[in-house]
Amino acid sequence: MSVRGPAGFVARWLVNYVLGIETSCDETAAAVVASGDKLLSNVVASQLKTHFRYGGVVPELASREHLRAIVVVVRKALEKAGITYRDLNAVAVTQGPGLVGSLLVGVTFAKGLAASLEIPLIGINHIEGHIHAVVLEERQRGGEIPFPSLALVVSGGHSHLFHVERTAGDEYRYELVGRTRDDAAGEAFDKVAKLLGFGYPGGPLIDKLAPFGDPSRVPLPASKMKGNALDLSFSGLKTAVLRHVRASNMEAEINARRRLFAEGPAASFDEVRASTPQATLDLIASFQQTVIKELLRRAMRAAEERPVESIIVSGGVAANSGLRARFQSLTLPVYFPSLSLSTDNAAMIAAAAYPRLLRGERSGLDLRPQASLALGAA
Ligand code: KG4
Ligand code: ZN
């Protein structure tokens, strides 16, 4: 049983249960975090089956699926945490960026819940959430990430580099120092996978196939940026892969694979690997290595420009094993979330809300979803 103070007052020494809700894209998620550092439950309902046949997320279908799932997902998160609605001290919800119709489901539900329970509502930036997935897990292990830190958030929607400072009062300040000018890193993984006839989302499968190829076999171009050298671009790389596919007469192989993936994820990984020619595995390995090199180059340069004590890598692409291995070989301490907190989840939203809750920050019931909500002034 938690204890709530007078309106707006949240005592640091009491156990505070924050319910996080995340519906920015194609995952309906709810989680309970106690006192900012204990993850009590983390429930994620994936819509993969709904969107798979379209080769990407269909916004209208995503909103409908969120509506269907949200009540059950929240109830499960409370059950797993061993608490009831009445025990909650605050509701945190993703305000943006994301698909506006999807965000609206989470925001509306969170508002209703906060109003009926008479507890604070806190709107959270999804990108800030990804960073706090790592802060949360490090605290849960009893450690603290040393700040200032360089945070690389790489997902299906974002490839952003932030310089992050933390004040003594546990307040986080974000400065956007680099970003993608076109495709996000996860989007590049998904588009290349789709181009090669693999299903959606392509990142996890490319990750598993890449170790079977030779990354030095297909020369692919690194991007050349005018202006901010910390910015990223992946559309040229995607075009280079397309050109290679056309020049290598891969159409028949790709069409056969499209049939294999037409109805859903292929039966087994071994089957997929066995039916993928070595030349394609080499292309996949070369593509993945190029993406990793691009991200590593920007992160190292950013860390030289502004001294940092650590690097945080988060977002769906942070699940990539090749990326993890390369970043972990750096001399700076590098922090990744566990695999389940790399991709979208609500634990990161609840964790990001906790320091704000303690500082008395609240969102009004006029909180609106914002599809392009920014984090950190450039
Ligand atoms: O963070 P996330 O779940 O959703 C967004 O906020 O976008 O990230 C999803 C993205 C997808 O593009 C997916 O292909 C990519 O993360 N992804 C990966 C891996 N797991 C997920 N990319 C590369 N390697 C992985 N293991
Ligand atoms: Zn995300």
139-197 pLDDT, tens digit each:
999 999 999 999 999 999 999 999 999 999 899 999 999 999 999 999 999 999 999 99
Confidence of residue 2 (pLDDT cuts 50, 70, 90): very low
List, in order of start, the domains of the chain with CATH numbers. Answer: 1-146+340-378 (3.30.420.40), 179-332 (3.30.420.40)
Closest C-alpha among 234, 238, 128, 241 to residue 181: 234
As given in the structure block, the two tokens for residue 123 are: 């709107």
The closest-lying atom of ligand 1 relative to the alpha carbon of residue 27 is 3
Site to substitute for ligand 1 among 189, 194, 284, most atoms within 8 A of C-beta: 189
Over 70: is that where the pLDDT of 266 sits? no
Over 50: is that where the pLDDT of 5 sits? no
Over 80: is that where the pLDDT of 120 sits? yes
Rounded CA-CA distance 207/269 in Å is: 12
Site to substitute for ligand 1 among 132, 160, 343, most atoms within 8 A of C-beta: 343
The closest-lying atom of ligand 1 relative to the alpha carbon of residue 130 is 1
For residue 319, the ligand closest to its alpha carbon is 1
- Ligand 2 centroid from CA 366, angstroms: 24
Distances from the Cα of 126 to the Cαs of 98, 171, 235, in angstroms?
8, 17, 24
Cβ-contact 161, 230 below 8 angstroms: yes
Share of the chain above pLDDT 90, in %: 87
Q: Which helix (H) or strand (E) holds 31?
A: strand 27-34
Ligand 1: which residue has its CA nearest to atom 20? 204
- Ligand 1 centroid from CA 203, angstroms: 6
Cβ-contact 272, 199 below 8 angstroms: no
Distances from the Cα of 104 to the Cαs of 59, 97, 367, in angstroms?
12, 11, 10
As given in the structure block, the two tokens for residue 310 are: 């650590």
What's the whole-model pTM score? 0.94
- 200-218 average pLDDT score: 96
Beta-carbon neighbours within 5 Å of ion ligand 2: 155, 344
The reported pLDDT for the residue numbered 161 is 98
| Contacts of residue 258, Cβ cutoff 8 Å, sequence gap at least 6 | 197
β-strand partners of 20: 31, 92
- Ligand 2 centroid from CA 221, angstroms: 27
User: For residue 117, how many other CB atoms are within 10 A of its CB?
Assistant: 18
pLDDT digit string, tens, across residues 356-374: 999 999 999 999 999 999 9
The reported pLDDT for the residue numbered 11 is 63
